[in-house]
Every structure is written in C-alpha cells, then in structure tokens.
Amino acid sequence: KNQVEQSPQSLIILEGKNCTLQCNYTVSPFSNLRWYKQDTGRGPVSLTIMTFSENTKSNGRYTATLDADTKQSSLHITASQLSDSASYICVVSAMGSYIPTFGRGTSLIVHP
Amino acid sequence: DADVTQTPRNRITKTGKRIMLECSQTKGHDRMYWYRQDPGLGLRLIYYSFDVKDINKGEISDGYSVSRQAQAKFSLSLESAIPNQTALYFCATSDPGLAGAISSTDTQYFGPGTRLTVL
C-alpha cells in the first residue's frame, strides 16, 4: 500500500531559526513528490515539486531535497518567519496514477 | 485564492439530509478535483474530472456523487449525509499544460475549503 509518513508531527521554533521537516514514502513506481504549505483555514499551496531525476529544489527560503534511493525527502526552511507558521504536507504521486498520496503534515509554529 | 471559490464555507446539517457543495473556478483549467481532509489524516481524493464529460472515482467515492456542469463548475453531493462525513472539503483545479493527459505533475490550486458538520 502506498504510504507517506512525515515527521515530526509538530514543531515549535523561534523566529529566525532554521528547521528541517522529513518525509518518507513507499509509493511505487515513483513519479513525483510535492511539498505544500497549508495555512490555518486555507487550502494547500504548492511550494516545490521534484521528479525522479531532481535531488534539490528551492523556492525562496524553502529548499526541498529528494533521495529516490532511500525514498526520503526533506524540506528545509531558512531564517524562519512568523508567516511560516502552517502545516507542511508532503504528497507523492505514482507513475500512471492520478490519485496522489498525502502525508498527514507537520504543524510548524514559529514564535517571536 | 479567489480563482477557486467554494460555497458554502460552512454548513451544519442533519443525518439523512442531501447536501451539495459547489466549486467554481476562473483559472480556465480543465481538471477539477474534490478532496476531504480529516483531523490528523492526509487529504484524500473523492472524485476528479478532466473535462466536462469526464468523471472519475478517487480513493473514497462511496457515499458521494459529483456533477461537472461546465468547465468552471464542479459540484459534490452527499445524497444522504452521515456523521462520519463530517470533514473539511476542498476543491482543486489543475492544468496539465504541454505535458498532456499522462502527466500527474501538474500543480493543483486549492479553494478555501468547506467545513461540513453532520449531526
């Protein structure tokens, strides 16, 4: 069964600090992995997408990495801001399927 | 966010009632989706449509039906609501662009969500 596991479940950091969120998956055959940011009361917004051949993708202060061999991805947030407080969701799609597998998300709280 | 709108934003109903959630988009995308999100769980796909004449079941379609009235409108119905359908429902749209129909890499744009409570 395709699964996406994220860790930690929640994280609290101080403004200005860096943090890294983890995503492990068992989706096969792998097509792509996407990170979404979901603010409270809003729909998810795509941050990055990576396919098999990509191992790093940046979007401003967000940098995602992918290790397709170990089936792991991470999302690194640099110099966190209060507006980074949100849930971060890892989503993995399989080749030939239009039904993506969503992780449960990591809830990030950034304190001043 | 205003490109994808959902109505109503909140709804409380009783068991056995018929409920319709509506989604409209101004992005001009052909592909539309309905998801539900439960606390502590990931989003799950209910139905998706790649054009007006195309409807496909997702991961959890039982108890739901959909209608694609036009390119811009995609409605989700609960024929007889039950309490375990209490959830946050999201509509999304996407455009495969040059990649065509075989691609699953197109970016999905989500609406603001509808919070549904079934008593």
Per-residue confidence (pLDDT) for residue B68, from 0 to 100? 96
Per-residue confidence (pLDDT) for residue A41, from 0 to 100? 86
Helix (H, G, I), strand (E, B) or coil at B81: coil
Per-residue confidence (pLDDT) for residue B118, from 0 to 100? 97
Q: Choose, out of B32, B37, B93, B94, the residue to mutate when testing the contact with A (most A CBs < 10 Å).
A: B37
Per-residue confidence (pLDDT) for residue B2, from 0 to 100? 67
Which region among A27-36, A79-88, B76-85 has the lowest average model confidence (pLDDT)?
A27-36
Alpha-carbon distances, residue B74 vs A60, A110, B13, B26, B93 (angstroms): 33, 36, 21, 12, 10
- A85: pLDDT strictly greater than 60: yes
- Return the residue of B nearest to A97 by Cα: B104
Determine the average pLDDT of the residues in B20-41. 94
| A49/B110 Cβ within 8 A | no
CA angle A40, B10, B118 (to 5 degrees): 110
Per-residue confidence (pLDDT) for residue B105, from 0 to 100? 67
| A100/B45 Cβ within 8 A | yes
**Distance spanning both ends of chain B, measured CA to CA:** 30
Determine the average pLDDT of the residues in B79-95. 94
| Contact (CB, 8 A) for A110 and A82 | yes
Of A92, A15, A7, A76, nearest in space to B43 by CA? A92
- B101: pLDDT strictly greater than 60: no
Per-residue confidence (pLDDT) for residue A70, from 0 to 100? 94
Per-residue confidence (pLDDT) for residue B96, from 0 to 100? 72
**Chain B residues touching residue A43 (CB < 8 angstroms):** 1, 4, 90, 92, 109-113
Tell which wins on pLDDT, A41 or B2.
A41
Per-residue confidence (pLDDT) for residue B104, from 0 to 100? 59
Rounded to the nearest integer, the mean pLDDT of chain B is 90
Using a CB–CB cutoff of 8 Å, tell me whether A50 touches chain B: no
CA angle B63, B67, B70 (to 5 degrees): 160
Please, which pLDDT band fits residue B102 given cuts at 50, 70 and 90?
A: very low
Using a CB–CB cutoff of 8 Å, tell me whether A33 touches chain B: no
Per-residue confidence (pLDDT) for residue B106, from 0 to 100? 77
Distance CA B63, CA B66 (A): 11
- B24: pLDDT strictly greater than 70: yes
